[in-house]
Amino acid sequence: MFPQRFICHSLKGNRDQGVFMDLKRYEEIIKFAIDKEIGSFKFYTRASQVAKYSGARELFIDFSKEEEKHQKLLEEITLEKIVQLKIETVPNLKISDYMVDVDFKPDLSYGDILRVAMKMEERSLKLYTDLKETAKDEGMNKLFGFLAQQEAKHKYGIEKKYDEDILR
Ligand SMILES: [Fe+2]
Ligand SMILES: [Fe+2]
């Protein structure tokens, strides 16, 4: 499953500098991120099935599709794809910062589903921010920066929904 092309691209720049990049580590990191994305995809798919409001259902479906795209991006990453990624800044409402974790159960209320989603996105954002900070490779740095921005966008989308539908 792990793209061999990507390993070659990522290693090119570093070999000359005499830095030995641990292939296993790259593989593990990408595999871990892919599993996270699959988890997020499953979460939004389930959430869209139990959502009672059409606006929320659409949001969950949209996000499930985006999580699936992240999974594919990580599975099929090449240097060319990394170059094409556009990174924009995303506002931060910081609502989830003040929330505690809630476990997903089938009978969760709408507010609880949004709370679970917020914490999940917060963790995804943190994962990619940490990976970006520790990435030694420029391509990896950009890839994780892009994914961090994508998850920041999700976190913002969920927080906005929570603000509109629950807090008001
Ligand atoms: Fe994602
Ligand atoms: Fe996400």
pLDDT of 84-96, one tens digit each?
888 888 888 888 8
12 Cα: distance to centroid of ligand 1 (angstroms): 27
18 Cα: distance to centroid of ligand 1 (angstroms): 33
Counting ligands in written order, the one closest to the CA of 47 is 2
Q: What is the DSSP letter of 97?
A: G
CB 23 within 8 A of CB 7: yes
Nearest 10 degrees: Cα torsion 135, 139, 143, 145: 60
Nearest Cα to Cα of residue 31 among 12, 3, 8: 3
Predicted TM-score (pTM) of this structure: 0.81
> What domains sit in the chain, N to C, each tagged with a CATH number?
22-167 (1.20.1260.10)
129 Cα: distance to centroid of ligand 1 (angstroms): 12
16 Cα: distance to centroid of ligand 1 (angstroms): 33
165 Cα: distance to centroid of ligand 1 (angstroms): 23
Counting ligands in written order, the one closest to the CA of 153 is 2
162 Cα: distance to centroid of ligand 2 (angstroms): 16
The per-residue DSSP string of 34-62 comes to HHHHHHHHHHHHHHHHH--SHHHHHHHHH
Listed ranges 6-15, 16-25, 105-114; the one with the highest mean pLDDT = 105-114
What confidence tens digit (pLDDT) does each residue in 32-80 have?
Answer: 999 999 999 999 999 999 988 889 999 999 999 999 999 999 999 888 8
